[in-house]
Structure 1
Amino acid sequence: MNKVILMGRLTNDAESRWTQDEKQMCIARYTLAIDRRFKRDGEQTADFIKCIAFGKAGEFAEKYLRKGMKIAVVGRIQTGSYENKEGQRVYTTDVVVEEQEFAESKKSSDSSTKAEAPAESQAEVPDTEEETLPWEM
């Protein structure tokens, strides 16, 4: 059995390309940063896992997956190798995505973005449901 379940944050926006054959399939690649359970020398460590999504899963990744988002992925591990320009054999390990979904609400992911945003932009939108917008008075 070859089954993997991962949860982590995207290190970058998903990168996609489309095949040039008559089927026109989307292929999206992204990397997940997954925190390790234990710290090394008091520092949090992470594994960086490369993922590849084909077809509809690739289209979803292309359209919705952005750097910093926390997502859950179900897939299988696939290994391969190729020869680089210097003639050396390079080995690869990827997770071929079978399922992917958001692992946190948009509101909680926005709160991490909001903390980094300038103070002026934070004042424009109420943070809680108790605050009212000007047109609701």
Structure 2
Amino acid sequence: MAGISKMTIIGNVGADPEVRYSQGGMAMCNLRVAVTERRKEGEAFSDHTEWFTLVCFGKTAENAQKFLKKGRQVFAEGRFQARKWADKEGKDRVSLEVVVSQLIFLGNGREEGVGGMGAAGSFQAPQTDFDPSMGYMNEDVPF
């Protein structure tokens, strides 16, 4: 029986994305995204941040470089994978990453730390049926 590996992340981009291309011409982009949760510890609250590496391909990668800047909030959905690789000394390493199937730019791109969205900041994030309060895509509902 086949299994499912799916992650959904809403967080802030940690650095401006940079696209690179494979030998076959496929655009690729890694994004570091911070997800911060506020937790109550005793009488005080503290922030706890987890960092995720998102891997984008094709037009998604090119659009990430074109429209995303450090600090911009994103919604990402994709499959979780462990990628094995060798470092400069030849030691085996493992990177945990999310291979993005859907990337939505949230906010208006004018938040602090976000620039380069055009003189008037006129870029509009793609319109979707996503309702954050419901936690799912309306078109995925089976009725």
Same fold (TM over 0.5): yes
Percent identity between the two aligned chains: 27
Assess if the C-alpha contact under 8 Å between 2:70 and 2:113 holds in 1: no
Alignment match of 2:78 (pick from 53, 75, 81): 75
Equivalent position SS for 2:8: strand
Q: Distance in 1 between matches of 2:81 and 2:14?
A: 20
Tell me, which stretches of 5 or more residues in structure 1 are unaligned?
Answer: 115-137
Q: Which residue of 2 aligns with 1:126?
A: none
Matches within 5 A, 1:90-129: 90-107=93-110, 109=111, 112-113=112-113
Q: Which has the larger radius of gyration?
A: 1
Q: Distance in 2 between matches of 1:113 and 1:94?
A: 25
Assess if the C-alpha contact under 8 Å between 1:74 and 1:100 holds in 2: yes
Letter in 1 for 2:26: M
For normalisation by structure 1, the TM-score amounts to 0.71
Q: Aligned in 2, Cα 1:39/1:53: closer, same or farther, shift over 3 Å?
A: farther
Alignment match of 1:62 (pick from 50, 61, 65): 65
Q: Distance in 1 between matches of 2:113 and 2:81?
A: 34
Instruction: Quote the offset at 1:2 in angstroms.
Output: 1.1
Cα RMSD after superposing both structures: 2.2
Deviations 1:36-75 (A, max 9, x none): 2425674312000001100111111121111000010011
Count of matched residue positions in the alignment of Structure 1 and Structure 2: 110
Deviations 1:5-30 (A, max 9, x none): 10000000112101232xx2110111
Tell me, which stretches of 5 or more residues in structure 2 are unaligned?
Answer: 115-143
Assess if the C-alpha contact under 8 Å between 1:39 and 1:45 holds in 2: no
Question: Could you say which structure has the higher helix fraction?
Answer: 1
Question: Could you say which structure has the higher strand fraction?
Answer: 2
Assess if the C-alpha contact under 8 Å between 2:11 and 2:73 holds in 1: yes
Equivalent position SS for 1:44: strand
Alignment match of 1:6 (pick from 6, 9, 22): 9
